[in-house]
């Protein structure tokens, strides 16, 4: 589960962002919707421990990651948080399978070929395991991104604009796959986006407004 409380953040220009509290339990989904510039990505980075708030708490499985040192927070993220971004960030010299194994190693998990094969099969891209990421379509790359984020069965899945570059068919497919992975792993799924096509997929929503 993930729960935020009283989060604020200020950039160097002095503008202070105040964010509504988020509460997403294990196996639940939550959509954070808003236009560009409203702080969606900042909020996701705070929730993922990639940035530190001025004030507030980010509780994941009852641990406030804001209180962790930088190194401990990075380790915690690798073990407990899966990240899906709009633009996939692969090691392009590695195959799909090797990218997933790298995610296992970085999280301190044993490398498991069978787990790699299993999750790629579930996401319909097992036949691409030996391909380089650049050889995949946009929809296939996003499926592999989800596989990499979910392979270590994280407590929280955070997705930043996962569908905005996809057509309607792939948009629906990616949302369904994210929900499938979250339910299967008992992960809390939080998606931040300006893509209004996602509105009907998520019963739990938070709307952010232009700052």
Contact 76, 63 (CB under 8 A): yes
pLDDT digit string, tens, across residues 12-39: 777 889 999 999 999 999 999 998 888 8
Rounded-to-integer distance, Cα 189 and Cα 34, Å: 17
Tens of pLDDT, residue by residue over 162-183, are 988 788 888 888 899 899 999 9
Would you state the pLDDT for residue 30? Answer: 96
The answer to whether residue 211 scores a pLDDT higher than 70 is no
Q: What are phi and psi of 158, to 5 degrees?
A: -115, 125
Cα–Cα distance measured from residue 22 to residue 8, given in angstroms and rounded to the nearest whole number: 13
- Confidence band of 159 (pLDDT split at 50, 70, 90): very high
DSSP code for 125: -
Query: What pLDDT, on the 0 to 100 scale, is given for residue 7?
Result: 97
Q: Which pLDDT score is estimated for 151?
A: 94
Structure tokens at 164: 């905005």
pLDDT at 195: 92
Read off the pLDDT of residues 56-73 as tens digits, 9 standing for 90 and up: 999 999 999 999 998 999
Distance CA(52)–CA(46), nearest Å, equals 6
Average pLDDT rounded to a whole number, residues 38-59: 94
Report pLDDT for 110: 92
pLDDT, one tens digit per residue, over 102-113 is 999 988 889 999
Mean pLDDT across 141-154:
93
Percent of the chain at pLDDT > 90 equals 74
Count of CA atoms in the C-beta half-sphere (13 A) of 122? 21
Closest CA to 157 of 182, 180, 136: 182
Question: What is the structure's pLDDT at 9?
Answer: 95
């Amino acid at each position: 589960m993930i729960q935020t409380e009283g989060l604020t953040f200020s950039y160097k220009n002095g503008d202070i962002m105040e964010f509504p509290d988020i509460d997403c339990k294990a196996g639940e989904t939550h959509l954070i919707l808003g236009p560009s510039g409203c702080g969606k990505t900042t909020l996701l980075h705070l929730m993922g421990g990639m940035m530190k708030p001025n004030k507030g708490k980010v509780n994941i499985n009852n641990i406030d990651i804001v209180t962790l040192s930088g190194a401990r927070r990075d380790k915690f993220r690798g073990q407990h948080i899966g990240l899906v971004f709009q633009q996939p960030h692969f090691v392009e010299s590695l195959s799909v399978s090797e990218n997933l194994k790298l995610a296992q190693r970085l999280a301190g998990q044993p490398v498991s070929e069978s787990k790699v094969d299993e999750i790629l099969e579930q996401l319909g891209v097992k036949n691409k395991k030996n391909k380089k990421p650049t050889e995949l379509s946009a929809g296939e790359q996003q499926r592999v991104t989800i596989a990499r984020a979910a392979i270590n069965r994280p407590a929280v899945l955070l997705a930043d604009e996962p569908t905005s570059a996809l057509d309607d068919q792939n948009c629906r497919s990616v949302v369904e796959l994210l929900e499938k992975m979250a339910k299967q792993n008992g992960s809390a799924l939080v998606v931040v986006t300006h893509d209004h096509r996602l509105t009907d997929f998520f019963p739990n929503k938070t709307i952010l407004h232009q700052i």
